[in-house]
Amino acid sequence: MFAGGVSKKEFLSIENAVSGHIAHLASDEFMGRRPGTDGERLTLDYMVRQLAAYGLESGTNDPANPWLAPVTLISNTPIEGRVELKVGRKRFVLPEGDAAAFTTRRRSLVDGGEVIFVGWDADNVADDLVKGRVVLMVSTRGRNRDRRDNIFEKGASAVISVVGNREDLEDVRQFSGGERLLLPSEERDVLNAYVTEAAIADALGKSRWDKLVAASESDDFEPQLLKVLATVEASSAQREVVSHNLIGRLPGRIPQSGEVLLLAHWDHFGTCGAEADADRLCNGAADNASGVAVMLELARRLAEHGPYDRDIYVLGTTAEEWGLLGAKAFVEDPPMPLDSIVAAFNFDTVAIAPVGAPVGFVGEGRTPLDGVIAEVMSEMGRTLGSRVLAEQYLQRQDSWVLLQRDVPAVALSNAFGDEGALNPYLKTRYHRASDEIAGIELGGAVEDLLLHERIVRRLANLATYPATGE
């Protein structure tokens, strides 16, 4: 037997099928699969055709909307923003090259707000210290969204993040300066500003800024209320966008015995990068044409050997790239009771690791699925990857939304099992126009598909996974 417990011929056949799906989904014709565009229509049409051909049916449980569950989004495009700091009697209007501000509303303004410096520690600051104030924090790559969200939950009126230099600020503009998508339910007043370290040091005085940063690095650091007043203003254009989650269903033999859910986000950015770049089309081959491709081929193989006792649902989520929005919409209006889902498996960015790479187990220790997963991994000779690495991605993918509603949801992928495979992708292709099919690695993806196939078959039958999960 070859890798994954199948013959080499079968392994290559699966690989070719997955590659074919990726070639379609990540082609220029699909225009980067941005929600609310013709790229969305082409993507969903393709997915529905494939699943229907495999024998699946609509899973929306809504005759008015077969296969596609509408998701209303708010499109938010920044227009302008400004940041002013009043230090003593001096007023500093930060130049455009050193400051940017963005809002989730049509217009937001904080005029002369008190400024409190929290350094890097945005997570443990007391609510009463930040409520109604402008929070000044040091930027940390990869964690800023979570830190800012935490601060706004505590009632901050605005957040100013200090970035290293103008090049870093330009990166922020590239990421935040274009159209953003929100759920109407999340359209709260969020006012984010970014300033360069040189600009904040000029306003506060370099010596004073250096002392603040140094103090924030000590274990006993306490947030400091500064003798500074901040004015932050931003405006944006808004419109409504109707996107869709795709929901398919492979009917089971025994009604009301629960469901197994497979999910992958189909969306990407459309375009990305600087306007001067020769290629700005973000094809999203690994992220996440590969996840959709593996899910489609897995659905085909499961249908070929079905039916099973339980229903198997296939979910393609929209707007994951804008904050797991499609998954959030799904749990608010699911086609089945969430507590009847016995297991959910997310497929995201799967085509970057070779055959034999360890499995990243995102969600380990948080569901009753650990025992079954460990047992099947052992049977197939798969090894567990870095728990520290996998944990970093827990809240950055769609299964997190399901976990928050007590659905047993995990992501098993060798993409998140070894930094040796993941880091080169993150540095050169992640959310870039360079994420094209020429750079994908399918060996590990096919191994992961076969691992999921064996796990899902076990979970989908009452004899091997009773309703109690025992």
Q: Is residue 455 part of a domain?
A: yes
Verify that 268 and 205 share a domain, yes or no.
Answer: no
Please state the separation of Cα 211 from the chain's center in Å: 36
Task: Find the mean pLDDT for residues 169-184.
Answer: 88
pTM above 0.85, yes or no: yes
- For the CA atoms of 100, 394, 131, 170, the dihedral, rounded to the nearest 10 degrees, stands at -10
Q: What is the mean pLDDT of the chain?
A: 93
Q: Which residues contact 229 (CB under 8 A, 6 or more apart)?
A: 85, 86, 112, 113, 114, 115
Verify that 160 and 209 share a domain, yes or no.
Answer: yes
**CA distances from residue 280 to 43, 80, 289, 319 in whole angstroms, order as listed:** 19, 23, 17, 19
Tell me if 125 sits within 8 A of 154, measured CB to CB.
yes
**What would the pLDDT profile of 301-330 be if each residue is shown by its tens digit?**
999 998 999 999 999 999 999 999 999 999
Tell me if 3 sits within 8 A of 355, measured CB to CB.
yes
Tell me if 180 sits within 8 A of 76, measured CB to CB.
yes
Say which CATH number the domain at 96 has. 3.50.30.30
Task: Find the mean pLDDT for residues 449-462.
Answer: 98
- For the CA atoms of 317, 319, 325, 327, the dihedral, rounded to the nearest 10 degrees, stands at 10
Nearest-angstrom CA–CA distance, 436 and 205:
46
What are 117's strand-pairing partners? 136, 224
What's the structural domain count of the chain? 2
Say which CATH number the domain at 257 has. 3.40.630.10
Q: Is residue 104 part of a domain?
A: yes
Verify that 271 and 317 share a domain, yes or no.
Answer: yes
Task: Find the mean pLDDT for residues 387-408.
Answer: 95
**CA distances from residue 421 to 263, 349, 414, 452 in whole angstroms, order as listed:** 23, 12, 9, 20
CB atoms within 10 A of CB 157: 21
Q: Is residue 243 part of a domain?
A: no
Verify that 112 and 162 share a domain, yes or no.
Answer: yes
Domain boundary among 217, 238, 259: 238
Instruction: Inform me whether the pLDDT recorded for 219 exceeds 90.
Output: no
Q: What is the DSSP string of 313-333?
A: EEEEES-GGGTSHHHHHHHHS
Q: Is residue 469 part of a domain?
A: no
Q: Strand pairing of 68-87 and 180-182?
A: antiparallel
Q: Which residues contact 212 (CB under 8 A, 6 or more apart)?
A: 117, 119, 204, 224
**What would the pLDDT profile of 64-104 be if each residue is shown by its tens digit?**
999 999 999 999 999 999 999 999 999 999 999 999 999 98
Verify that 230 and 265 share a domain, yes or no.
Answer: no
Instruction: Inform me whether the pLDDT recorded for 127 exceeds 70.
Output: yes
- Residue 26 has a pLDDT of 98
Q: Which residues contact 417 (CB under 8 A, 6 or more apart)?
A: 353, 357, 358, 359, 360, 361, 384, 385, 386, 389, 390
Q: Is residue 245 part of a domain?
A: no
Verify that 170 and 98 share a domain, yes or no.
Answer: yes
Verify that 293 and 427 share a domain, yes or no.
Answer: yes
Q: How confident is the model at residue 144 (pLDDT cuts 50, 70, 90)?
A: low
Verify that 94 and 135 share a domain, yes or no.
Answer: yes
Degrees to nearest 5, angle at CA 69 with 66 and 71: 155
Domain boundary among 238, 270, 299: 238
Verify that 342 and 421 share a domain, yes or no.
Answer: yes
Task: Find the mean pLDDT for residues 292-299.
Answer: 98
Verify that 284 and 332 share a domain, yes or no.
Answer: yes
Instruction: Inform me whether the pLDDT recorded for 142 exceeds 50.
Output: no
CB atoms within 10 A of CB 326: 30
Verify that 286 and 168 share a domain, yes or no.
Answer: no
Q: Is residue 464 part of a domain?
A: no
Verify that 38 and 81 share a domain, yes or no.
Answer: no
Task: Find the mean pLDDT for residues 407-436.
Answer: 93
Q: Is residue 45 part of a domain?
A: yes
Domain boundary among 238, 261, 296: 238
Q: Residue 385 is part of which domain span?
A: 3-66+251-459
Q: Is residue 246 part of a domain?
A: no
Of all helices (H) and strands (E), which one includes residue 282? strand 281-282
- Residue 150 has a pLDDT of 83
How many contiguous H segments (helices) and E segments (strands) does the chain have? Answer: 14, 17
